[in-house]
Amino acid sequence: MSTRPFNPGDPILTEEEISTLEGVGQLLTRPKGTVFMAEGEQSDFVLLIRKGSVKIVMGSARRTVALRRAGETVGEMAPIDREPRSATVVAATEVVVLWISGDQWIHFLVHHPRAHMAQTHQANERTKQASRKLVESDFTVERKLAKALLELQDFEGRIGEKTIEVPASQLELAHMAGASLDSVKKAIKIFRAQGLLTTGRQQVTLHDVDRLRAIADGHSVAL
């Protein structure tokens, strides 16, 4: 049993802990669009993302509320609270995940208190992140859209010579920004007119990330 303490800033799972989970879990490769778990279902397995990213989707309108990438876990609370799934998890890209049964996950946490503390810290950080999004709900649509674009860039951006491409529809951007589709379309039109981005089918190309970051931070506005 590991007795090493967890400190903020440490990895949520160490290489040794990941190796332990790989010894009991099952490695799966799935294409973009795969639904791993559905909101309201009663299941207790946990996924450790090894490659790619997944979307966390909530509500009947299937609103994307968060993205998770390699190194993060999803569904980790289900084996503990035994409650129905609070969200749907969908592969945003082709992904490689480690599937871990609920019993194996509980056994792992009991014998790895550092990892248990890390998971508690992660859950707390995610709660604070959700709270910050509520506080930010009064931001202008342009600012919220800029923040959503930068978040997508961090997770899924493909860097070109002078641009960054992020795969997202305008509806997904509206969900990520917490704004109406019509208001996001208007903001995109403004951004496009200023040369900040161009749009294509299920894709947005960012041309001025620094300006978008300034807008997201409240240091600039979209005129």
The domains of the chain, with CATH numbers, are 15-135 (2.60.120.10), 139-216 (1.10.10.10)
Nearest 5 degrees, angle CA 150-CA 39-CA 134?
Answer: 45
What local confidence, expressed as pLDDT, does residue 131 receive?
66
Q: Residue 25 gets which letter from DSSP?
A: S
What local confidence, expressed as pLDDT, does residue 19 receive?
95
What local confidence, expressed as pLDDT, does residue 220 receive?
80
What is this structure's pTM? 0.64
Residues of the chain with pLDDT under 70: 1-4, 61, 130-139, 156-157, 160-161, 223
What local confidence, expressed as pLDDT, does residue 46 receive?
96
What local confidence, expressed as pLDDT, does residue 141 receive?
86
Q: How many CA atoms lie within 13 A of 122 on its CB side?
A: 19
What local confidence, expressed as pLDDT, does residue 127 receive?
76
Q: What are phi and psi of 199, to 5 degrees?
A: -120, 150
CB atoms within 10 A of CB 25: 22
Output the six-digit token pair for 45: 């397995």
Strand partners, 48: 73, 98
Q: What are phi and psi of 98, to 5 degrees?
A: -100, 115
